[in-house]
Structure formats: C-alpha cells, structure tokens
C-alpha cells in the first residue's frame, strides 16, 4: 500500500511517500513559499534531487504540484495518483479528545478547527492541508495523527496547573505536551533495542532541536512531559525561554511591555538566542564558545543544566529509570552536549562511553558504558514513519481487503 504523509505549514507542505508495510520511502520533498509569486519544489527520489520553481498560490495548488510530481513520467515514482490509497496528516493539537490517530471525518475536522485556539500557528495550516488532500485524493483514506495524542495518558497530578480549577474547566488550560509522535517512536525503538516489552520499560526521551521537549515514558505511556499548554514551557530552546517565573511577565508589563511584545520576547527572542545574544543555532554557539565567547558558553551550560535537571526529576517521578534516549537535530548529532548533560548523572546510574558517544555510525546506537546501570541511546526520530504506520493500520481497518 502506498501512503502519503503530509505535514502542512502556513506556507509549505512537506511530504513523504511510503510503500507499506515495508516502510520504504519512495520519494520525499516539500513545496515551500506557497502563496508567493513563485513557490519552490524540492523533490527527492532514487538518490536524486529535483528542484523547480512552481505555481502554488494556495495549498490546493501545492498539493496538485506534489501529486503531479509523484506521477510525473520522468521524476515520478507512481504511474497513477490513485495508487496512493491513504494519506496521513500530522496535526499538532488534538486537545483531550484524541488519544490516538483517527480516520478523518467531519467531526474530526470540526475538532481540529476547535482546537486551533490552542495551536493558532499550527492547526489552521494542518487543516488546510487536510482539505487540500481530501480534494485532490477523494477516494483515499485520510488519517490525522496528533502530536498531543501520546501525552493524553499523563495523569491529572502532572497535567493540571496550580490555577483555580474553573480555569481548567472553562478554558481547558492544562499541560498538553508536544512532539508526541517523536517521543512515542523513539521510546518504542528503545524498548526494541533493550529486547523488552514497552510495558516493562521506563524511559526518558529527550527531543532536542530548535524546539526541545522531554518526556517521562513509564511502561510505554507518557506520564509527564516538559512542554505545557503551549510549546513555550520546559527546557531552554533555540528562541523560547522555557520555564520562567510567570511574575516576570507582570513585572515587565508594569515597565511598559505589552502582550504582543512579551509574546514575541518569550517565543522568538529568548532561549539560546537571548542568552548568547548571537544565535539560536547550537552549532554556531559551540563554534563561538570554542573561540572564547563567554555568553555562548553560558547559553550552552544553561541548556545542558536544564536538561540534566529534568532527567533527575523524571527519574524521581517514575521511581525507576531503565534508559535515556537522545533524538532530534541536537540530540542525535552533538556528542559534546550529550556528554555534558550526562556527566553529573552518575548518582542515578548513567555513565557515557566516550568512544560510543563520538562514533558516527550506526546512527541508532547505545552510547552508555558497560558499567552504566541506565542505558543511554541515540535514536534518530522518524515521525513520518510513525504516521505512515498509524495510517496503514487505519486504512486496513477501513478497507480490510
């Protein structure tokens, strides 16, 4: 079965075409700058990359570009578009309603729209992408895979804030968490690498990129996660502040900052960028820190310290820790930071093997030493493969033959 995985943003559509159940990738790419005078297509297939300027005034047109490219006589990978039997869509927010991936119907569409208030930058373009795919592939099974779904197992003790309870009842203000598809995928791979059933393993998963989140996975279920009502809470990130005293915002409001300025500051001007004053890119910070830039080093140290603290907190919350997983652009590619994060974790049984940690291959590997009671892994995330697997399962239920 050929399954198309779609991740629609406000001005882009990323795609991967899978052959299931083998999980082989036939093609991947992106249409970006949708709505601009000239959009751009990047299409990768058979170890070849094709780029071109395209006409995509809206997402419907962008979807048509993708489908015509996939079926193109020269650069395509299918003979006809109707070979694509199902489409899996990444949707950021499913609120408390969706505990797993679902086949899309009118009720699901209405719910995604309703939760747009909680994810205004993500759910609306996700919904636009879904409608474009439904229009272009009316006979295909359409599935929604929610970033928040994996975290719906978090107990009230972990997801409620210390606010008046009616705030939760009226506005559903609570911890939702994000990157759930990534955390679920790498936690499952970790259990497989441990040759254990996922229900028997306690793992802390560290998704570290420009956006960062940590999740405590106990017996295969998320029981706590660092991001909250929005992706702003948690560890220090590229441009997001992470955990702060909320009274700071009241204090700055008294100094003349308005809501729009505070929002921009916390989401776009803080984190690694705000502390260092030079960059939100960890690669740049490491380079500048090696050259003696003190605030670049300070940003790195704060980043590592906050992650170390979360590992300790989640270990205490779960009662037993079997493994830690690093994933995401920073987590997968930066041995120096992994070493620094784990250096002070000997009291909970973590010890990194320097040779394993700095090895380039295999990408998915154990990096802890033989003496380490807690196993530490690098596991590249593959959210698209997880979405494809969910969509394949749902499509089989809809069309058993």
What are the residue numbers of the active site? 147
**Residue 347 has what DSSP assignment?**
G
**Residue 367 has what DSSP assignment?**
-
Angle at 70 between CA 32 and CA 391, to 5 degrees: 85
Q: Which two tokens stand for residue 264?
A: 């921009």
- Picking from 341, 371, 367, the residue whose alpha carbon sits closest to that of residue 356 is 367
In sequence order, what DSSP letters do the residues of 107-140 get, joined into one string? HHHHHHHHGGGT-TTTHHHHHHHHHHHHHH-TTS
Distance CA 187, CA 206 (A): 10
Sole residue written with tokens 């209405």: 110
Helix (H) or strand (E) holding 67: helix 59-70
For residue 308, give every residue at least 6 positions away whose Cβ sits within 8 Å of its Cβ, in sequence order, or none. Answer: 341, 342, 344, 345
Sole residue written with tokens 């493969």: 385
Query: What's the per-residue H, E or C state across 68-93?
Result: HHHCCCCCCCCCCHHHEEEEEEEECC
β-pair type (365-366, 323-327): unpaired
Give phi and psi for 375, each to the nearest 5: -80, 145
Task: Name the percent of the chain in helix, strand, coil, to the closest 5.
Answer: 40, 20, 35
SS3 91: strand
């Amino acid at each position: 079965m050929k399954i198309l995985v779609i991740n629609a943003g406000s001005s882009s559509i990323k795609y991967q075409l899978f052959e299931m159940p083998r999980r082989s990738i036939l093609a991947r790419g992106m249409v970006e700058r949708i709505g601009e005078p000239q959009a751009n297509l990047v299409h990768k297939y058979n170890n070849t990359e094709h780029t071109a300027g395209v006409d995509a005034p809206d997402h419907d047109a962008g979807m048509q570009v993708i489908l015509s490219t996939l079926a193109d006589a020269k650069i395509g990978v299918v003979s006809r578009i109707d070979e694509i039997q199902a489409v899996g869509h990444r949707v950021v927010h499913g609120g408390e309603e969706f505990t797993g991936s679902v086949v899309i119907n009118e009720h699901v569409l209405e719910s995604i729209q309703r939760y747009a208030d909680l994810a205004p930058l993500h759910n609306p373009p996700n919904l636009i992408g879904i409608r474009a795919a439904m229009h272009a592939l009316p006979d295909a099974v359409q599935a929604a895979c929610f970033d928040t779904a994996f975290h719906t197992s978090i107990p009230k003790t972990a997801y409620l804030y210390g606010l008046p309870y009616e705030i939760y009842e009226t506005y559903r203000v609570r911890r939702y968490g994000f990157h759930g598809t990534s955390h679920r995928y790498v936690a499952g791979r970790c259990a497989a690498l441990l040759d254990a059933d996922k229900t028997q393993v306690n793992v802390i998963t560290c998704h570290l990129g420009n956006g960062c989140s940590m999740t405590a996975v106990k017996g295969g279920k998320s029981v706590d996660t660092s991001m909250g009502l929005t992706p702003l809470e948690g560890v220090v990130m590229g441009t997001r502040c992470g955990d702060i005293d909320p009274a700071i915002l009241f204090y700055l409001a008294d100094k003349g900052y308005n809501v729009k300025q505070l929002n921009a500051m916390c989401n776009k001007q803080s984190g690694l960028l705000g502390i260092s004053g030079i960059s939100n890119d960890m690669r740049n910070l490491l380079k500048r820190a090696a050259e003696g830039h003190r605030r670049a080093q300070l940003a790195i140290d704060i980043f590592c310290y906050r992650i170390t603290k979360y590992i300790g907190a989640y270990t205490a919350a779960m009662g037993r820790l079997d493994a830690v997983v690093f994933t995401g652009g920073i987590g997968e590619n930066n041995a120096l930071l992994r070493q620094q994060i784990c250096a002070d974790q000997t009291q909970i049984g973590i010890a990194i093997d320097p040779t394993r940690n700095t090895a380039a291959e295999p990408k998915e590997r154990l990096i802890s030493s033989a003496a380490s009671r807690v196993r530490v892994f690098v596991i590249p995330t593959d959210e698209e493969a997880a979405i494809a697997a969910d969509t394949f399962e749902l499509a089989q239920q809809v069309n058993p033959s």
